[in-house]
């Protein structure tokens, strides 16, 4: 993203707000659009700024009186999706890190981040990239490693058969005639016959005997 990046600072500590303002104001291509001492004030400020002139990035403290940073991030994503929230805080608690990211934060940085890294993070967030400080990145990687891999989806019927076709094929293997298959599955004999024909076609088999042998082989295959 070229041009000037407009930034909203949200922090309940006035010294931190003003320090950040002075730090960022001297950076080329960074403009402090507004500052707020809390979540409600930030939302009120943004509502008064015309579309197209709002900040691209909001630096948000995690712990503030009233509306905390995680709640503010969620409200920003819902009400002002053009503003990319980045949490900038002294707290490295998992609740803040994962809560903020789940709420839609584009980044999580600690306040001891070097100034040049903070400026780079602001520009990256303005481009839509996610920015994670060392601690947040490490916690995220650790959580992913500790999360069990999702259980594999159970295999579907072999041979590309549908569930109903495989059910009918198994009945054929059990010696059931079309009439018995139709009665057991509450379908017509013609439907049963059509399903059997479909099984033979998909599997490249000639007759019911071959179908029965194929089912028997698949029922007893390793892991089956």
Strands of the sheet containing 5-10, edge to edge, are: 30-36, 5-10, 57-60, 84-89, 107-110, 131-132
Is 97 in the same domain as 125?
Answer: yes
Work out the angle at residue 97's Cα, subtended by the Cα atoms of residues 11 and 26, and round it to the nearest 5 degrees.
40
Q: Are residues 121 and 53 in the same domain?
A: yes
Q: What is the pLDDT of residues 121-167, one digit of tens each?
A: 999 999 989 888 777 777 676 666 666 655 555 567 888 899 999 99
Residue-level pLDDT at 146: 66
Q: Are residues 99 and 12 in the same domain?
A: yes
Which of the listed residues 111, 146, 181 is the one where a domain comes to its end?
146
Helix H or strand E segment including 2: none
94, 122, 146: which is the final residue of a domain?
Answer: 146
Mean pLDDT over 43-69 rounds to 93
User: Do 14 and 107 fall into the same domain?
Assistant: yes
**117 and 213 inside one domain:** no
Which residue range is the domain that position 179 belongs to? 158-219
Q: Confirm whether 36 is domain-assigned.
A: yes
For the residues 178-184, what does the mean pLDDT come to?
Answer: 92
Residue 69 pLDDT exceeds 50:
yes
How many domains are there within the chain? Answer: 2
pTM of the model: 0.62
CA dist., res. 94 & res. 165, Å (int)? 50
Domain membership of residue 153 (yes or no) is no
**Has residue 53 got a pLDDT over 70?**
yes
């Amino acid at each position: 993203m070229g041009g000037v990046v407009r930034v909203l600072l949200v922090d309940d500590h006035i010294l931190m707000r003003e320090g950040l303002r002075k730090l960022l104001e001297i950076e080329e291509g960074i403009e402090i659009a507004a500052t707020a001492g809390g979540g409600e004030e930030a939302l009120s400020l943004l509502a008064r700024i015309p579309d197209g002139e709002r900040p691209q990035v909001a630096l948000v403290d995690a712990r503030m009186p009233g509306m905390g940073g995680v709640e503010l991030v969620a409200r920003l994503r819902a009400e002002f999706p053009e503003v990319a929230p980045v949490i900038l805080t002294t707290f490295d608690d998992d609740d803040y890190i994962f809560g903020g990211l789940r709420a839609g934060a584009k980044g999580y940085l600690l306040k001891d981040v070097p100034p040049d890294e903070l400026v780079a993070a602001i520009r990256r967030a303005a481009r839509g990239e996610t920015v994670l400080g060392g601690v947040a990145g490490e916690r995220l990687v650790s959580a992913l490693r500790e999360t069990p891999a999702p259980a594999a989806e159970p295999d579907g019927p072999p041979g590309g058969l549908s569930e109903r076709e495989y059910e009918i094929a198994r009945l054929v293997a059990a010696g059931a005639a079309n009439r018995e298959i139709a009665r057991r599955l509450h379908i017509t004999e013609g439907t049963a016959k059509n399903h059997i024909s479909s099984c033979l076609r998909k599997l490249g088999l000639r007759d019911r005997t071959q179908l029965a042998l194929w089912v028997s082989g698949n029922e007893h295959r390793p892991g089956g």
